[in-house]
Structure 1
Amino acid sequence: MQTSTFVDDWLCYNTILGEGAYGEVKLLIHKKSQEKIACKIIDHHKYKDASAAINREVTIHKLLDHENIIKYFGRRQEPLKEYIFLEYAAGGELFQLIEPDVGMPPANTQMYMKQLLCGVSYLHSKGIAHRDIKPENLLISIDGILKISDFGMATLFRFKGRERLLDKKCGTKPYLAPEVLQRPYKAPAADLWSCGIVFVAMMTGELPWAEATDKNEEFLKWKNDIYISETPWAKLGNTALSLARQILNVDSMRRLKLEQIERHPWMRLEFSFVISGNPLIRSTENSSDSSEDGSEKPAKRWNSMVEAETRMNRDTPTVTQSQPTISHRHSTIMEAVDSLRNTRRDQVCFSQPTQNEDLVLQFTQSPITKDNFQDLIKRLTRFYVKTGLEKTLEVLCTVLDSLHYGWTTDANGAVSVTTVDSCKNQLTFKANLFDMDGKILLDFRLSKGCGLQFKKKFLKLKECLSDIIDNKDVKI
């Protein structure tokens, strides 16, 4: 492995951890200390309007210092590129822990809600509104701590004790409070509405509506109080539903404030046992463990999921409102295979002086192997296959064609998949093939769109690829 020496050597894996509106995020690892940080790389030549937005984001982010906020370490600016250095949380996005249409154990939901509210409380105490709270922007550290990330839409709503109403319509539609789309709004109430949608997603594995407007049938039922037999509300016990109703009050003046959410009975329930720092499913509240008709909720599914997933800490400062890398569509699957056969996959090496603010970059090759792969994010959307590199790509692309998904390959041999979700919104994700000491790992990563919808698509693809999946080698 070629490296360069300046003061301290930092290796940078070319594998992309996440993508943002103005660039991509990669992982930096110190060769000696094994310290890890995330590096957001912005290409100003490609994104000519990025400078002002990045400056606003950095100005806000550098003011923050809290356990439940991703830490900002520094930046390096060049004429055409910029590097933002952030805390690396090894667990990935919160949505990875949410099983589509099922959710996660109520105890885990409570734990993450408390941490989310703690981080939001800190932001609001500083007069800062996040304005894009969603599972894709909530990361989990190696210690299982939730971290709020992506301050690209954050703004100051209070300065020297004076508050202002906000009027910019920004964020992600399913998580936006109704007033955001209608009129000037109070920032704290809008952020807490988004937290309420995250709560429902964690509890049920689905979003209640595509947007909180009268054009949406599901939202109208909620607004008119005729929702009780509808999904996702029918999945909630009485106490959890009470909390959701009060956080998601359409009248922002009557919506629960942060301290009231923290005092709600559901938030004060006691859950028994802990595994790997995360609570188990079993709760002292019957209505959280069973549906209102007395039938058992999918506890066994939750139990097996928690035991598997809580061992797989995850993180990566990633942004889901992102742009795919430049790619080209192959006219046939065999052309993609031929391209992959001739693709050279380079890695990057960063050398760093003492201060993060002044990183010196040099590029070298550094292959990914089973020995160092654990440094990258532990996602649940990857698996080993029994087939070789070229055969795997051929089978994958054939399945994508059969599902009528659009796909292209980029210069590194990654497959970029485009489709629409159930709300007809664009969904883009990447499939990377890694040769791990002779075994092929197929890794899927969300690029743009809803994390829950991405996981649904992944599960469908996994089912279609079941004949080539190697179930013996699962420690990834």
Structure 2
Amino acid sequence: MSQASIFVEDWLCYNTNLGEGAYGEVKLLLHRKTKEKIACKMIDHDKYKDASLHINREVMIHKFLDHENIIKYYGRRQEPAKEYIFLEYASGGELFQMIEPDIGMPSSEAQKFMKQLMNGIKYLHGKGIAHRDIKPENLLIGADGKLKISDFGMATLFRFKGKERLLDKKCGTKPYLAPEVLQRPYYAQPADIWSCGIVLVAMLTGELPWADTTNGNEEFIKWKNEEYLCDTPWRKLGNTALALSKQILNIDSEKRLTLEQVQKHPWMKFQFGNDDESDVVDSSGEKSAKRWNSMMEAETRQNADTPDVALSQPNLPSSRKPASLVQLLKELNEGGARNGRGAFFSQPAQNADLMTHFAQSTITKENFQDFIKSMTRFYVKSTHERTLECLCNAFEQSHYTWAADASGAVVISTVDLMKNPLVFKVNLLKMDGKVMLDFRLSKGCGLEFKKKFLKLKESLKDIVDNKNI
């Protein structure tokens, strides 16, 4: 079975998902001649009855945005039952892929991403737009390593012709919500800044401070009462990072740091150095191995031998709007699909037989590079059948609910430590004669997903091919 099908003319659509949202899937489109890549969000209105209103609002906002730290919107195609939105392709995947659970990432990388996040938010707020769902799962990494804000399904206009309004819709993701969002009408900008502060803590420590900002949450109450210093994640932070976090996550929105104040904070201006340099000279004058080049005060209290997080990006085409995309949209609007079936798009093969699907997959290392960078995949040294058997045993030992979907992926349903739903998928891919397990988050917290992934990988250590990691 082929992993790509004709989309329209010279465009191929990969059946493997880049990601999933509240109202559909995101797939990769590749132009066979130019090798240009774009992401296509596919919405099934028959499946999601309330999607139209949300998608229309998202498109109305997104199409007017143009900034290097915001995913570009290219166009849309509407049909009676389905809709297709064309977006910039970010090959680096979601930000949470860069965060090691319970560890985080080097301070210099966290600072770089925080600066880029602030630049993107500053642009949005300058346009009078609030995002209202800032979290690592909605922050993508481009081929050039730049952070890009995505998913404007919760975004809204809070300022028009200089007049600002209070917002009252309780929306977003619980661990990232500012407390006032759940309590009363709120100002948009401080609420977005709060969410950015939670992202900062996640990047530096690899964990979230609380499940929600309600008086029923013990961790949040400790934060309010300033009884948190001995608790994680705060004890992992150096003084300057902790000071910045405390000022961003001020319970009083009027005393919370503004965006400009965050950008001027000493932690944001500290020169961490280049963590990617392999020839750092230590105090003895000898060259040291590649390491985290951040002092205790700058900023996470972690051992120097903590594995670095690689951010090197593949040399892919730039994220500019593909010249051939205009022709693609024209062909779609003219009904120009050429798949011989009278439909605009080829659909993924429907095959409930898991073994057959896996055995017929034909992916090579060359074409697999078209997909997003992922740290949640690995090779195994066993057959498809044996791997599936080991997977099933691992799921049962972890008390996960699992099943195969129509495309042949294994869908795992569980809950995270905060008792929120967590759903992810596993695809078994045949790659140059070897078997690769590719894990992708469908719903829930990215950090919790990575924790589950690492535990599953450990339970499968007898079949993991460490030579091809």
> What interval of TM-score do these two structures reach, taking the shorter chain for normalisation?
0.7 to 0.9
Instruction: Report the counterpart of residue 303 of structure 2 in structure 1.
Output: 298
| Counterpart-to-counterpart distance in 2, 1:109 and 1:392 | 36
Deviations 1:84-110 (A, max 9, x none): 000001000000110011110011000
Q: Which residue of 2 aligns with 1:356?
A: 329
The answer to whether residue 410 in structure 2 is matched with residue 415 in structure 1 is: yes
Distance 1:298 1:419 in 2: 32
Note the C-alpha offset of 1:357. Answer: 5.9
Q: Which residue of 2 aligns with 1:158?
A: 159
For 2:387, the aligned partner's letter is T
User: Matches of 1:300 and 1:212 in 2, distance apart?
Assistant: 34
Q: Distance in 1 between matches of 2:82 and 2:422?
A: 27
Say which SS state the counterpart of residue 14 (structure 1) adopts. strand
Which residue in 2 is equivalent to 1:113? 114
Q: TM-score, normalised by structure 2?
A: 0.87
Contact kept? 2:129, 2:155, Cα under 8 Å: yes
For 1:282, which of 293, 298, 301 is the aligned residue? Answer: 293
Letter in 2 for 1:300: D
1:359-405 deviation per Cα after TM superposition (whole angstroms, max 9, x unaligned): 34343899432220011012000000011111111110111001111
Q: CA deviation at 1:353?
A: 6.3
Contact 2:381 2:435 in 1 (8 A): yes
Change (3 A) 1:26 1:368: same
- 2:238 corresponds to which residue? 237
Amino acid of the residue matched to residue 354 of structure 1?
A: Q
Displacement of 1:213: 1.2
The verdict on how the C-alpha distance between 1:352 and 1:123 changes in structure 2, with shifts beyond 3 A counting, is closer
Q: Which amino acid aligns with 1:134?
A: K
Please list every run of 5 or more consecutive structure 2 residues that lacks an aligned counterpart in the other structure: 278-289, 317-323, 338-343, 350-360
- Please say if residues 73 and 356 of structure 1, whose CA atoms lie closer than 8 Å, have aligned partners that are also in contact: no
SS of residue matched to 2:466:
coil
Q: Is the 8 A contact 2:6 2:13 kept in 1?
A: no
Q: Given the alignment, which residue of 457, 461, 464 partners 1:466?
A: 461
User: Alpha-carbon deviations, 1:230-255, whole Å to 9, x = none?
Assistant: 11111100000000000000000000
Cα distance in structure 2, aligned partners of 1:75 and 1:421: 35
- Counterpart residue number, 1:18: 19
Aligned to 2:44: 43
SS state of the match for residue 300, structure 1? coil
Are residue 385 (structure 1) and residue 380 (structure 2) matched?
yes
Counterparts in 2 of 1:290 and 1:53: CA distance versus 1, 3 Å: closer
- Are the structure 2 counterparts of residues 312 and 472 from structure 1 closer, same or farther at C-alpha, using a change threshold of 3 Å? farther
Structure 2 counterpart of 1:212:
213
Match of 2:285 in 1: none
Aligned equivalents of 2:88, 2:423: Cα separation in 1: 26
In the aligned structure 1, how far is the partner of 2:7 from the partner of 2:142?
Answer: 29
Distance 1:224 1:160, change over 3 A: same
Whether 1:57 aligns to 2:58 is yes
- Secondary structure at the residue paired with 1:311? coil
**What pairs up with 1:60-139 in 2 under 5 angstroms?**
60-139=61-140
1:26-80 per-position Cα deviation (integer Å, ceiling 9, x unaligned): 0001111111000000111111211111100000000100000000000011111
Amino acid at match of 2:92: G
* Equivalent AA in structure 2 for residue 67 of structure 1: E
Q: Comparing 187-196 with 432-441, which one deviates more in the overlay?
A: 432-441
The match for 1:319 is none
CA contact (8 A) 2:27 2:41 kept: yes
Partner SS, residue 104 of structure 2? coil
Equivalent residue, structure 2, for 1:148:
149
When the two structures are aligned, how many residues end up with a matched partner?
Answer: 426
Distance 1:410 1:61, change over 3 A: same
- Look up the match of 1:430: 425
Residue 292 of structure 2 aligns with an amino acid whose one-letter code is I
- 1:450 Cα deviation (Å)? 0.3
Structure 2 counterpart SS, 1:144:
coil
**Contact 1:223/1:250 (<8 A) preserved:** yes
Tell me how far apart the structure 2 counterparts of residues 313 and 251 of structure 1 sit (CA, whole Å).
Answer: 43
The amino acid that maps onto 2:247 is Q
- 1:255-293 CA-to-partner distances (Å, cap 9, x unmatched) read 0000000000000000212539xx97313x5413564xx
Aligned alpha-carbon RMSD (Å): 2.2
Give the corresponding residue for 1:328: none
Change (3 A) 1:157 1:397: same
